[in-house]
Each structure stands twice: as structure tokens, then as C-alpha cells.
Amino acid sequence: MALPLPSRYLTPDDLVEMFELPSVETVYQSRRKRTGPRGFRVGRHLRFDPDDVRAWGDSRRSEAAA
């Protein structure tokens, strides 16, 4: 059973914590390479929709199982 995601938009720091990534720079690099979840800018801040993060995580899990 998957853990529920917050109902608010997620920050890069949230993704670092949730996926145990080494740093926020990893989030920015995956965005530049288009290998991470879809993100969007609010002013100069990067945010992620929890539904997009869930879909990205599910697709990664599917790829790993194949």
C-alpha cells in the first residue's frame, strides 16, 4: 500500500525527503534531463503536483518490474 501524498504542491525538498535523494540538485538535474516528475514554476519556485509525482513513481516501479 502506497503512502498518501500531501494535498499541497510539493517542493524539491519534499521530493528529496520522500525519495531519499542525495540533494535538491538531483531534483533539478532530473527536471533538466526530463527524467523526473513533471514540475512547474510559481514565480521562481519549482513545485510538483502530487498526482504527477505519484504517476511518475508508479511508472518507475513498473519499469523496474519489467
Flag whether 6 is in a domain.
no
- pLDDT tens across 24-64, in order? 999 999 999 999 999 999 999 999 999 999 999 888 888 87
Domain ranges, residue 57: 12-65
Q: How many domains does the chain have?
A: 1
Give the model's pLDDT for residue 6.
75
Distance between CA atoms of residues 39 and 5, nearest Å: 16
Flag whether 37 is in a domain.
yes
Grid cell 502506497 is found at 2
Please list, in sequence order, all residues whose beta carbon lies within 8 angstroms of the beta carbon of residue 7, skipping any fewer than 6 positions away. Answer: 50
Q: How confident is the model at residue 2 (pLDDT cuts 50, 70, 90)?
A: low
Flag whether 41 is in a domain.
yes
Flag whether 1 is in a domain.
no
Flag whether 32 is in a domain.
yes
